Amino acid sequence: MEITPQAVAEWVKRPIGERPRLIDCREEDELAICQIPGNEWIPLGLFPGVRERLMSRNERGVVVYCHHGVRSLRATNFLRSIGVENAFSMSGGIEAWSQLIDPEMPRY
């Protein structure tokens, strides 16, 4: 259910039409600090209310991330429970991304 930041970084390099869906499930104040380019912002608390939206456009897979990987794991469990079997949580969240992939990214 988890995928490494390194694997996500490789996916993000693909042409737009070949990339998996990248969902940032953090809160708005966190999004203002830093984010991975190309993400779609859907806070975890909104997941139940946007179920139909979450169930579409998942042919190439879905990667969810948060700050440390806890909320994104919950989001991934929710996605899989509604039938999105190719959903993954980015292990370590954007904190790991900032350490391993983009050291220039602001941390909090």
pTM comes to 0.95
Tens digits of residue pLDDT in 69-106 = 999 999 999 999 999 999 999 999 999 999 999 999 99
Give the model confidence (pLDDT) of 57-72 as tens digits.
899 999 999 999 999 9
Amino acid, single-letter form, for residue 75? A
Strand locations in 28-85 (E): 40-41, 62-65
Please tell me the distance from the alpha carbon of residue 57 to that of residue 27, in angstroms, as a whole number. Answer: 22
Q: Looking at residues 10-39, what average pLDDT do you find?
A: 94
Confidence at residue 42, expressed as pLDDT on a 0 to 100 scale: 98
Q: Where are the domains of the chain?
A: 2-100
Is 2-100 a domain of CATH 1.20.1050.10? no
User: And the tokens for 77?
Assistant: 């469990």
* pLDDT above 90: percentage of residues in the chain: 92
